[in-house]
Amino acid sequence: MRVMKIYDSATHTYRPFEPREEGKVGIYLCGATVQGSPHIGHMRSAVTFDVLVRWLKRLGYDVTMVRNVTDIDDKILIKSRENNAPWWAWAYKFEQEFSRAYRILGIQAPTYEPRATGHITDMLQLIQEIIDAGHAYVGNSGNVYFDVHSLQDYGSLTHQSLENMSVDEETQENDKKNPHDFALWKAPKDGEPLSASWESPWGRGRPGWHIECSAMSGRYLGDAFDIHGGGIDLRFPHHENEQAQSHGAGRSFANYWMHNAWVTIDGEKMSKSLGNSLTVDNIVQSVKPVILRFALGTVHYRSTVAYSEKTLKEAENVYGKMIHFVEQTIKYAGEIPENDIVNASIDVFPNAFVEAMNNDLNVAGALASIHETINDGNKLLDSADANIARGYQLKVRAMLDVLGLDPYSSQWKKTGSNDNEHAALDSLVKAVLAQRDVARKEKNWDQADLLRDQLVNAGIIIEDGVDGTSWHIA
């Protein structure tokens, strides 16, 4: 099994990936807080870790992927009240929207997708363990706080000293020992519905934000697991406090930390004020989902995605050339079944692709390998050798599948009305090409160029070869 290197954001070093249990990988990804509609900032993280899972499986690992749903927190309660909706109905509405967005972008379902509200007993047990270990204390009825001064390695994830940390609470309660202490269990606030709180040994209340993930990762992956992932904006306070809680209870927690960078719009970090126009549902009204995925997933996960119309156009052009190559191989050798693509041996992949993906998911290097393979294949396809065409189709589609972009996968392959639309377009384009052929035979070059330019202006690329003229969308 080939060794992968991961940039561990806890140690700021590249580390060879060594799973705790040979042949198996446990991953916990901080998923959605379902307070509103999913936007492309949320999807950046989902796409990143979808690619990670796909690659680890290609390396032969049995992967357990846990992606949680936070369906109870302050923001959900506030927004549901503002919209005169039950908090649980508000949360479920947006949980469904997130699920739909994941499906639209071809993100594979996790092994488990636990909701916070389904794991209250796990949280109560973990809180008691932290109290018993001397790292938490009870405040006013319904409040339990983590004592940050009690844990020697607090701040080790983000390499901060306590005096330089921001305070992790929107409001400061008067029953805290220290401003940096954070809530494990919170008493209900005035006006909050009774259904949004649970009985506990310390009084009725609800979980703090951080305890949810510590409890759910422990339930599904155990006290120690391999990789914890999420957006870079979660490193502090959320992930720092997750780690502190787990260490405070005597749990080893995550061995590697991976954090993806955010999405920027016109050079600025994407903000909630822009979120409505950049929700997945809105974008895919005018952008093909596969192109959106390409734009979000083919930039290194630790680099910022600069989202713009130009970015989308570039993604469409590059992906269009890849589709065209695959279509050419199918013309010569027929379509390889999707199951054969998904189960292709690691030996099918070019060494450059494997090296790039094993280098902390270097998708830029992986794309370069795909382009090189396509260039090599284009030089040989004119030989019309079916075995050569089939070999190149297998290589290119398998590489694209790792990135979730195989154009002939069941996710992206044209079906139904799209087939009809393509057939209609093919008929119209071929009619124009026939007129162009007549003009060329008559040496009416001005007319031939005019017909060609009409197609180009409509976004149709034509290619003249020994076997005639072919076309594809730019």
Which tokens belong to 53? Answer: 């899972």
Q: Are strands 305-307 and 268-269 parallel, antiparallel or unpaired?
A: unpaired
pLDDT given at position 448: 82
17-41 pLDDT per residue, tens: 999 999 999 999 999 999 999 999 9
pLDDT at 235 over 60: yes
Query: What is the chain's length?
Result: 474
Distances (CA, A) of 124 to 74, 127, 168, 184, 359: 19, 5, 21, 9, 40
Q: Which residue has the higher pLDDT, 1 or 469?
A: 469
pLDDT at 418 over 50: no
pLDDT given at position 69: 98
Least confidently predicted of 73-87, 187-201, 237-251, 370-384: 370-384
The domain limits of the chain are: 5-132+213-274, 308-413, 418-473
Cβ-proximal residues to 192 (8 Å cutoff; 6+ apart), any chain? 77
Q: How far apart are CA 207 and CA 91, in angstroms?
A: 16
pLDDT given at position 325: 97
H or E element that contains 418: helix 417-441
pLDDT given at position 467: 52
What is the mean predicted confidence (pLDDT) over 260-266? 89
H or E element that contains 27: strand 24-33
pLDDT given at position 416: 37
152-184 pLDDT per residue, tens: 999 999 999 988 888 865 555 789 999 999 999
433-470 pLDDT per residue, tens: 888 888 888 888 888 888 888 888 787 878 775 456 77
Q: Is the dihedral of CA 369, 60, 2, 227 positive or negative?
A: positive
User: For the domain 5-132+213-274, what is the CATH code?
Assistant: 3.40.50.620
310 close to 130: Cβ distance less than 8 angstroms: no
Mean pLDDT score of the chain, rounded to an integer? 92
330-341 pLDDT per residue, tens: 999 999 999 999
The reply to whether domains 5-132+213-274 and 308-413 share a CATH topology is no
CATH 1.10.4160 fits 308-413, yes or no: no
